[in-house]
Amino acid sequence: MKVLVTGATGLIGRRVVARLRQAGFDVRIASRRPEKLAAVGEVLPLPGPNAPDAAFLALMRDVSHVVHCAALNNDRRASDADYQAANATLTGRLAKAAAACAGGRFVYLSSIRAVAGPGFSGTIDEATPPAPQCAYGRSKRDGEIRMIEAYAGRPDATALRLPPVYGEGMRGNMDALMRLADTALPLPAGTLGGLRSLISSDAAAGAVLHLLSRPGPLHPAYVAGNAAPLALSEIIAAFRRGFGRPPRLLPVPALPLRLAATLLGRQASLQALTAAQICDASLLTSEGWIPETDTLGRLEDLARKKAYQAR
């Protein structure tokens, strides 16, 4: 059984390809940079958002399932139009071709940003009304909508909404937190108590494999996350243990920092730091997926590997 995977050079895509092959699937990769993957099996160029229909249909030859990992994120130079083209238009084109030619499933790697902005506090599950707050989140939500429209009510396509993902090669906020942890700077623990759900790239790939393999119809969306959310202070402390550094989390009251943020016009940034975003993955776990449990240990190991590679 052949699976088409896009975004195979990315943080999650690499693990998806590895897990699928371990499970016995034949994998075809579609990449914007096929020259980087020429030695890893069947690799085809990923068409651009405005490519002709024939280019997308050609990708689907002999394909049963599609896993769409390719996305534009963490790019401050990108415009709204760039995000829409990469995350919405391209997703819709792929889903339309897959619905016409591939008889299996379509799994779209989406994000909790399709539902809520970084300042949202609360629990996120499949019933949370989508209210994206940024260009990236809006484009991921539009990609979900176009996928659903392409499958026209068929229970074969789903969006896997992920919280921040960590793993080797990560970028964005998780990478910034790890770099912050690898300094001697003391940090105000009073502002870093907001709970956050995370997921490792390997656990996300496991969720993809589960959705391709489980019997029965798929729900239009699933939320994934680790078994227990963590405070930002816990995440930074785990990274610092991995780097061999003391935690240095100072018990600074939150009120002075809120006043400082107001004076500096950084209320939104502080709200994002203190927000509690908890992903309720009970639907996915009720269908047999097992979430990760030792997130702190895995974060510590990640920093330890980073420190070893920097020697």
**pLDDT tens-digit series, residues 69-105:** 999 987 778 889 999 999 999 999 999 999 999 889 9
Structure tokens at 289: 């997926």
Percentage of the residues of the chain whose pLDDT score is greater than 70? 88
d(C-alpha 232, C-alpha 181), whole Å: 11
Q: Which pLDDT does position 118 carry in this prediction?
A: 84
* Helix or strand run (H / E) with residue 82: helix 80-83
pLDDT higher than threshold 70 for residue 150? yes
User: What tens digit of pLDDT does each residue of 159-195 get?
Assistant: 999 999 999 888 888 888 888 888 888 877 656 667 8
- Centre a 10 Å sphere on the Cβ of residue 308 and count the other Cβ atoms it contains: 9
Query: pTM of this prediction?
Result: 0.91
User: What tens digit of pLDDT does each residue of 214-241 get?
Assistant: 999 999 999 999 989 998 888 889 999 9
d(C-alpha 142, C-alpha 123), whole Å: 22
pLDDT-based confidence at residue 42 (cuts at 50, 70, 90): confident
Question: What mean pLDDT do residues 9-16 have?
Answer: 91
Sheet with 106-111: strands ordered across: 42-45, 26-31, 2-6, 65-68, 106-111, 157-162, 221-223
pLDDT higher than threshold 80 for residue 155? yes
d(C-alpha 117, C-alpha 174), whole Å: 16
Structure tokens at 197: 């759900």
Question: What mean pLDDT do residues 253-281 have?
Answer: 66
The full set of domains in the chain, from first to last, is: 2-167+198-225+280-292 (3.40.50.720)
CA-CA distances (angstroms) from residue 58 to 17, 31, 51, 122, 162?
20, 14, 12, 43, 29
